[in-house]
């Protein structure tokens, strides 16, 4: 078990969500990188447990799916990571992170709302993986009842496997990111794309902010 957890942490945090200082060159924002808004069900499509993920300030919380468990990452990752939860066959990891206020995140949010925040989130991933992570498709606004997210899809395997991230702002003005990442470390079959999307949507439905 410990060896598997170490592999999971290495896979997730080196490949996808390494954090740190970012320098972004000033450039005009793209105008063709957005797809139409999607309105989704505000209720999870899979069975969720009563186990909670909670931000330090208490302005974001979420339940997790039945059978998923927390990875012990306290000494292994950036303090911006709130929680990592993993499914029972070690093929998916879900990461809840805080996007700490900084000139880049704040300026992009002021200029273009959640779309700006999503672009900044992706820029962080791309830069901290030396360009290994690439954007797949376009940014999209997701509406679930009275909640709003902007999601994007990314890959470090040329599209062979892809993860998804969604950014959002809490009622207290704090920025957060949720990511769902496939893992190939065990050799087990990955969830199908419809299954992956159903789990991703269910997490978003479960998030409260």
The whole model's pTM is what?
0.85
Q: Within 10 Å of residue 33's Cβ, how many Cβ atoms? A: 16
Q: Which two tokens stand for residue 209?
A: 């902010």
pLDDT digits (tens, 9 = 90+) for 44-65: 999 999 999 999 999 999 999 9
pLDDT digits (tens, 9 = 90+) for 51-108: 999 999 999 999 999 999 999 876 656 789 999 999 999 999 999 999 999 998 999 9
* Residues in CB range of 40: below 8 A, 6 or more apart: 142, 143, 144, 201, 204, 205
What pLDDT, on the 0 to 100 scale, is given for residue 16? 44
């Amino acid at each position: 078990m410990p060896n598997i957890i170490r592999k999971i942490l290495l896979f997730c945090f080196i490949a996808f969500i390494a954090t740190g200082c970012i320098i972004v060159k000033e450039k005009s924002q793209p105008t063709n990188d957005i797809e139409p808004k999607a309105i989704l069900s505000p209720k999870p499509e899979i069975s969720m447990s009563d186990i909670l993920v909670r931000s330090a300030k208490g302005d974001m919380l979420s339940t997790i799916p039945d059978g998923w468990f927390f990875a012990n990452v306290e000494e292994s990752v950036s303090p911006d990571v709130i929680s990592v939860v993993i499914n029972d066959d070690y093929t998916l990891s879900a990461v809840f992170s805080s996007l700490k206020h900084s000139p880049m995140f704040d300026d992009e949010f002021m200029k273009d709302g959640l779309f700006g925040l999503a672009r900044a989130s992706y820029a962080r991933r791309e830069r901290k993986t030396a360009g290994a992570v690439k954007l797949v498709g376009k940014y999209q606004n997701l509406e679930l009842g009275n909640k709003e997210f902007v999601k994007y899809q990314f890959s470090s395997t040329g599209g062979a496997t892809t993860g998804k991230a969604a950014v959002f702002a809490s009622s207290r003005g704090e920025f957060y990111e949720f990511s769902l990442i496939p893992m190939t470390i065990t050799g087990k079959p990955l969830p199908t794309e419809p299954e992956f999307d159903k789990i991703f949507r269910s997490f978003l439905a479960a998030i409260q902010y």
